[in-house]
Structure 1
């Protein structure tokens, strides 16, 4: 699984970082960002789904790897 943030949708609510700080960072202006290549480590899938489900702008995008 990989996680991304659509920068065109992100409004800087910070819920992704609050819910899954191991998967997300905040930039200097408070907008979310994904460090590295966005690969979700084993055991963090539920946190990634929770962050995506709680983003009011639907800016957190999850993709399943084949």
Structure 2
């Protein structure tokens, strides 16, 4: 499994940088016989994932327990 995530500096967004970086990471994962997984919560991240061919197959729940 290859868990993928791309962070883009706000001032550099909108230029295809996240898509380019993510595309290279996906290609590398596949080359190394890994299953790429994208966890996309924010809508811009979802758009990058969709542009790369990812489909939403489930949901993730995170819980923080503070003592």
TM-score normalised to structure 1 length:
0.31
Judging by fraction of residues, say which structure has more helix.
Answer: 2
